[in-house]
Homo-oligomer: A and B are copies of this chain.
Amino acid sequence: MTTDTSPRLALRRLPSSAQEQSFGLNFQGRLHGALAHRLGVDILKGVYAPGQVLPNEIDSSSTLDISRSAYREAIRILAAKGMVESRPKAGTKVTERKRWNILDPEVLGWMFETEPSEEFIKGLFELRLITEPAAAELAALRRTEAHLKAMDTALDVMEAETLATETGRKADLEFHDALMNATGNEALASLSHSIGAAVAWSTRFKQRSGPLLRDPVPDHRRVYDAILRQDAGAARWCMESLIRMALDDTQRTMKTQYLEPRT
């Protein structure tokens, strides 16, 4: 009589998906992490709308067939990211969208699982276009030998591996991270790290939909050269053009995906 098609198994089966392993974002197959992930994505998708109150802990945990502790810890995670808010008697409700910490790396990752709106992507690139050229400028002024070396080796890996491989994409991230460290600005580095990870995440889709993309290494190399010779203006300009090209590629990819969704 126990037709156990309960959601619990679905949750339990989530641990260590191919996605998270290759992306580095580990919710580690812990039950609370998996549930937070699932609920977070559902909120981002609009399955639970802002203002809506979730079923109470008892009901939720029993229909999900997990313990209240695990459920509560998942809610704690979402609350820490500003996505829900709990009060006794009032329940747990989804907060208004403006209060979500969408620049949280995890939230950003969830976002890219839900085919984010083109508007959102454009906003993200717009932000990159504001921050990263300025960062390149600062990096050109403040970089040390160590920073240069880190950037250089990352570039070498990128060149050898291209963005088609996992290590290649990782090298891309490392290049940008090294650049951000060179700015000596912790807050700026944190911001760019979040966005960079999210954008790298979307790069996988670009790569999948067709290999007909420009080689990104020369663009990166130009940025590096400008920083090497401490030419702040050139660094800014090269970085800006690099991002514009990435945006261009991304938009083209999104368009083709809309036109031929099954390629």
Binding site for B on A (CB under 8 A): 28, 32, 36, 69, 72-73, 76-77, 79-82, 87, 97-98, 100-106, 120, 123-124, 126-127, 130-131, 134-135, 138, 184-191, 193-195
Contacts and interface: CB of A to CB of B under 8 A. Distances in A.
Contacts of A106: 80
B103 A103 contact: yes
Copies of this protein in the complex? 2
A68 to B, nearest CB: 9
Contact of A103 (B28, B32, B124, B187): B187
A126 B188 contact: yes
Contacts of A131: 127, 130-131
A101 B104 contact: yes
A25 to B, nearest CB: 11
A80 B82 contact: no
A104 B102 contact: no
A104 B32 CA distance: 21
Contacts of A103: 103, 187, 190-191, 194
Contacts of A123: 184-188
18 contacts: A32-B76, A69-B69, A73-B76, A76-B76, A76-B77, A98-B193, A101-B104, A102-B187, A103-B190, A120-B186, A123-B186, A124-B187, A126-B188, A127-B188, A130-B135, A131-B131, A187-B195, A191-B191
